[in-house]
């Protein structure tokens, strides 16, 4: 079940202009032609170069008209497209203005000049962008793009945890709803979780909601970690047995895992890190290296261009929520200004504090 905070549908007036929450008005734009013309082919040819290893040439005429139309409409709307590392290559390479992990996207969003942010990721990411950028219009192309981890816990659950564990600091992973962030002392990412946990200088901390991230952090600190039974449905599916089978077939394979994987999986990895940490590690490999990325399948496709000499082996687990975002839905978002993501201002203020505490700690 996706947690939705005050999602507001756009309404159109007699002229077809669109009014969003807070009275923001946007003019109606004509639906573009989606023919694969000579003009479209020429304009999108440099973009195809970036995705040609992942999209067969015969399929490009299906994607190209959307890519062409979206890139034109973005300018008319003064919109920026933020794409998560797990988006498909045609989104990541061909229409995104900024690509990265969820925190990178949110932080970058505070620096973009655009009035409108199209969040190509899941709902909690759009919420985070909104609470860090309250003056901007934040849209998500499919409101149903949820997350098993974010949906495992509510703000009410956090309040009950606090009552049951008086005085124990609550650290919340950024992969959570604004409601959950608002009830937390501070947020963390998978790359800074140990640092955030230790920043309190106490012997016990609640690190929620990802049980596996908490267990991986517990291996690196003396602080006692209490947690919650939330899991990422993509990373929980990997097993040590399947990874060891790859290693047995080719002992030179470098296994790079995300800390949302069970500890039995990270125990057999050569490196464990956040998506950014995984990318940095993979890009640091010598040409000819074989790398197995133990994470969502699209990431290897997206970074292949930056590491042409590295062979990525993909045990392909797709995130069904990330894959709800498609080029046709992005086009509809830009045309119809949907779906708008809003966060209750009081909740946003509290949630923003939890995010800012983490960011300040980092500096
Ligand atoms: S990959 Fe996992 S954590 Fe990320 S959005 Fe999908 S279910 Fe959530």
As given in the structure block, the two tokens for residue 325 are 């975002």
pTM of the model: 0.91
For the 150-232 domain, the top CATH level (class) is alpha beta
In ligand 1, which atom is closest to the CA atom of 175?
3
Q: Is it the case that residue 122 has pLDDT exceeding 50?
A: yes
Could you tell me what percent of the chain has a pLDDT over 90?
Answer: 76
Task: Indicate whether residue 165 lines ligand 1 (CB < 6 A).
Answer: no
Instruction: Give Cβ neighbours of residue 176 (< 8 Å, ≥ 6 apart).
Output: 124, 149, 150, 153, 184, 187, 208, 209
Q: Is it the case that residue 8 has pLDDT exceeding 70?
A: no
Residue 144 Cα to ligand 1 midpoint, Å, equals: 13
pLDDT of residue 6: 45
Classify residue 115 by its DSSP letter: S
Task: Tell me the CB-side half-sphere exposure of residue 40, using CA atoms within 13 A.
Answer: 18
Per the rule left: phi > 0, alpha: psi between -120 and 50, beta: everything else, 6 is left
Would the CATH topology of 11-147+322-344 be identical to that of 235-313?
yes
Instruction: Give Cβ neighbours of residue 208 (< 8 Å, ≥ 6 apart).
Output: 153, 158, 161, 170, 171, 172, 173, 176, 180, 184, 214, 227, 228, 230
Backbone torsions φ then ψ of 170, nearest 5 degrees: -115, 115
Q: Which fold has domain 235-313?
A: Rossmann fold (3.40.50)
Residue 191 Cα to ligand 1 midpoint, Å, equals: 16
For the 11-147+322-344 domain, the top CATH level (class) is alpha beta
User: Which residue's CA is minimally distant from atom 3 of ligand 1?
Assistant: 232
Average of pLDDT values for 164-180?
Answer: 97
Task: Indicate whether residue 175 lines ligand 1 (CB < 6 A).
Answer: yes
In ligand 1, which atom is closest to the CA atom of 233?
7
What's the pLDDT tens digit per position in 210-257? 999 999 999 999 999 999 999 999 999 999 999 999 999 999 999 999
Q: Is it the case that residue 359 has pLDDT exceeding 90?
A: no
Task: Indicate whether residue 321 lines ligand 1 (CB < 6 A).
Answer: yes
Q: Is it the case that residue 363 has pLDDT exceeding 70?
A: no
Task: Tell me the CB-side half-sphere exposure of residue 22, using CA atoms within 13 A.
Answer: 15
pLDDT of residue 362: 58
Could you tell me whether strands 290-294 and 311-313 are parallel, antiparallel, or unpaired per DSSP bridges? Answer: parallel
Domain boundaries, the chain: 11-147+322-344, 150-232, 235-313
User: Which residue's CA is minimally distant from atom 2 of ligand 1?
Assistant: 232
Residue 319 Cα to ligand 1 midpoint, Å, equals: 6
């Amino acid at each position: 079940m996706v947690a939705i905070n005050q999602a507001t549908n756009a309404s159109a007036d007699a002229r077809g202009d669109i009014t969003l929450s807070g009275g923001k008005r946007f003019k109606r734009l004509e639906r573009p032609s989606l023919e694969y013309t000579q003009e479209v082919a020429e304009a999108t040819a440099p973009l195809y170069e970036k995705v040609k290893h992942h999209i067969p040439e015969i399929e490009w005429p299906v994607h190209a008209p959307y890519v062409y139309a979206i890139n034109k409409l973005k300018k008319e709307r003064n919109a920026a497209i933020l794409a998560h590392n797990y988006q498909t290559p045609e989104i990541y390479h061909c229409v995104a203005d900024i690509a990265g992990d969820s925190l990178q996207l949110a932080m970058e969003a505070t620096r973009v000049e655009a009035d409108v942010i199209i969040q190509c990721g899941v709902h909690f990411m759009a919420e985070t962008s909104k609470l860090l950028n309250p003056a901007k219009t934040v849209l998500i192309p499919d409101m149903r793009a949820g997350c098993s981890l974010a949906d495992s816990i509510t703000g009410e659950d956090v309040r009950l945890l606090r009552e049951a564990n008086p005085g124990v600091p609550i650290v919340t992973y950024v992969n959570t709803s604004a409601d959950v962030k608002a009830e937390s002392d501070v947020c963390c990412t998978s790359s800074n979780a140990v640092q955030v946990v230790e920043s309190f200088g106490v012997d016990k901390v609640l690190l929620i909601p990802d049980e596996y991230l908490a267990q991986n952090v517990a291996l690196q600190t003396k602080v006692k970690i209490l947690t919650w039974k939330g899991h990422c449905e993509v990373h929980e599916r990997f097993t040590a047995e399947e990874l060891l089978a790859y290693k047995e077939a080719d002992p030179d394979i470098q296994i790079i895992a995300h800390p949302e994987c069970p500890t039995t999986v990270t125990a057999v990895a050569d490196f464990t890190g956040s998506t950014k940490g995984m990318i940095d590690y993979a890009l640091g490999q010598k040409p000819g290296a074989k790398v197995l990325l133990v994470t969502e399948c699209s990431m290897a496709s997206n970074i292949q261009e930056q590491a042409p000499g590295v062979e990525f082996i993909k045990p392909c687990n797709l995130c069904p929520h990330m894959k709800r975002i498609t080029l046709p839905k992005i086009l509809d978002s830009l045309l119809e200004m949907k779906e708008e993501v809003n966060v209750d201002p009081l909740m946003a203020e509290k949630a923003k504090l939890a995010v800012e505490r983490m960011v300040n700690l980092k500096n």
